[in-house]
A and B are shown apart, each in its own frame.
Chain A
């Protein structure tokens, strides 16, 4: 009996080992049939093209200007050849830039190795804080959203960069930053990060739908005005419902905005302030539940009716998919869509998940309705105060954000960084990428100039989360007023926990620093 049990046990172990070994091997080998039926763009060719595109972007601007920030950063980093820097980056597509371009290129130039740590967006903040609290040292370079700057700086997570900038940067590069983005880099008089991404919401619309004679006639008959890209939220709603009614049977919708939990508060931030809303009153009490707030949220909830079914769970990828398929009339989202819509760089392997575009040559751009686009999230680069190689870490971020290198990165198809320097907006090469690329650059620049900054005071992430929960609750049917009242209560609790007086000062500072980019 026992001998049998033992044999049974041995058999099990053997089987598992074999299976485990088998599992490790076969999926890697493609079934021949599948290989044979693949369309005529074998992987190797795509990869080759991607490399060509990347190489083209690299070649045009290399070598860096002697004495410029990039060249000086390379010289500085060479002292640290052999050192490895841990760099956080948003997981997934965002990370393709450092993984495929920036990190290997920097290592080739300086001998400093870059270890890219892919982290989901919200974890970029919590892991950085947790690491600092745990004694730190896991990260050298931190990638973060500008709204977290106050918390990260106050919490001692970030290293002040002024001394490094003074010593190593070409000061002209500071004035090359778009004036709006330049306002962000400091907190309480010290510089804690370098700006690295011009993330401004822009409205993308289907020119062909707007120019269609029948659409124009029908629209005019119904609304007694010309069919045109909307300038107000009221107009947006009308145009959206007009297109949806027209195309719903073909699965076509007038508009879509990602509504899934996580970032939906950004569209509220934008619309709320375009409507004249303020985040706090003079006593630092939350004012998001004001009449303007309730109206804004009510409008947002109502707008969902004209959007595709299930929009409440749509994220960036779902909106993108439908847009590229040609199923949507208008969207408001982040920049890379402008490039992708035209198919620019879509042949690169990293973008193979991006759907084939059916809208190339049919897309127009405009600042969001209400006249102000949200400067939504964006990215900054900073040096961890726990880094053992702060100078090398600084050299890396100076190199990345230098006009030459950032100028390449905003053009590399799979890098998701978008124009933020004057030299990017005025880049003749960018303007040639597709027929109306110069129009796109103009709208991005206008968006930056008139854009609204995310609320950037201590506790920003907590405020955002509370508001985001209220909004998704309202999408799900909670009364907007009740939802916002609850969020306002949570906001007040956060403010009280952090300290009403200090928050008042931080809020005043934020308004002063951002000026017209805080409130129009």
Chain B
């Protein structure tokens, strides 16, 4: 009796379950499709503007696909107005600052991870720098740089970016180094290797995926930085976000140039992110969420 009931019911139940599952999939895909359109549309639009001429982006109703897609005209104007130079400046500042922050930050992180140097309060103090509003930080820095004559210099901006990358680097590397088994280091030290030697040849290679992730994030954060650069650049060190502002104003609305610079500046960051996505949550929350 019981068995026959089960046997007669189960095909219907299975079909129902399958239907429910299919409906759930459909809902989820619909939601995701909407989200994908929402989150990718601005990128699409900026890309089309980069390929449009001014008569096309100032058109009512707006044109979605340019008739003669051509980025050369805008790229040419970007080069002529110093847009590529600005991207070059950004590259110099960002790469240097990232390198310095990685070296200095990793050493400190090692000390914090292995010896809990300064205790939790010290770690917190370092972390707190990450959360100060940049506008409150940049002002004292401006006063200092004014005194040092570091305004509008590469080294000024590099040191500033490196310093404000430190909290991130220290916190990330601290957690990555903690994951390296201490026994490996100890065996090296037994063999007579110095502390620094151990860090360089044993710990860092083992923590290298973390180091690379940290490096790329530091690069991205510095690459996108705007306020410090806006305040501290004059003539020599105009980074690309500062350059972007010159394409917009009461008298100018150079969408084509702005879109082209945006596109060039965003592409590498986007590709790096796609490669780094599994570290992204960790990176964005300083390791508070894994």
Contacts and interface: CB of A to CB of B under 8 A. Distances in A.
Given A5-B208, A9-B209, A38-B70, A16 B253 contact: no
B227 interface: no
A30 B246 contact: no
A92 B235 contact: no
Contacts of B256: 353
A130 B75 CA distance: 32
Given A27-B264, A315-B253, A12 B68 contact: no
Say which size band chain B's interface belongs to: 35 or more
A355 to B, nearest CB: 6
A118 interface: yes
Say which size band chain A's interface belongs to: 35 or more
Contact of B271 (A19, A43, A264, A356): A19
Given A15-B271, A118-B81, A315-B251, 8 more contacts: A13-B212, A27-B72, A92-B246, A92-B254, A93-B252, A135-B146, A264-B250, A353-B256
B272 A121 contact: no
B144 to A, nearest CB: 11
Contacts of B250: 121, 258, 260-264, 315-316
Contacts of A118: 81-82, 246
11 contacts: A9-B208, A9-B209, A12-B216, A91-B246, A120-B246, A120-B249, A263-B250, A316-B250, A317-B253, A355-B54, A355-B58
The list of the 6 closest CB pairs from A to B, nearest first, reads: A262-B250, A91-B246, A316-B251, A134-B146, A317-B253, A117-B235
Contacts of A28: 72, 75
A134 B72 contact: no
Given A9-B208, A16-B268, A16-B271, A317 B251 contact: yes
A93 B247 CA distance: 10
B108 interface: no
B176 to A, nearest CB: 11
A127 interface: yes
B134 interface: no
A345 B73 CA distance: 19
Contact of B69 (A8, A34, A93): A34
A86 B152 CA distance: 14
Contacts, number: 134
Interface of A: 2, 5-6, 8-9, 12-13, 15-16, 19-20, 23, 27-28, 30-31, 34, 37-38, 43, 86, 91-93, 95, 99, 115, 117-122, 127, 130-131, 133-135, 138-139, 251, 258, 260-264, 315-318, 321, 352-353, 355-356
Nearest to B252: A92
Nearest to A18: B271
B9 interface: no
B257 to A, nearest CB: 9
A262 B212 contact: no
Contacts of A139: 234-235
Contacts of A121: 249-251
Given A9-B209, A27-B71, A353 B146 contact: no
Interface in B140-173: 145-146, 149, 151-152
A117 B206 CA distance: 48
Nearest to A264: B250
Contacts of B275: 12, 15-16
Contacts of A317: 58, 251-254
Nearest to B209: A5
Contact of A318 (B152, B253, B271): B253
Contact of A315 (B212, B249, B276): B249
A168 to B, nearest CB: 27
B285 interface: no
A10 to B, nearest CB: 9
Contacts of B152: 131, 138
B55 interface: yes
B60 interface: yes
A263 B245 CA distance: 17
Contact of A16 (B80, B151, B235, B272): B272
Contacts of A131: 151-152, 234
A134 B145 contact: yes
Interface in B229-270: 234-236, 245-247, 249-254, 256, 264, 267-268
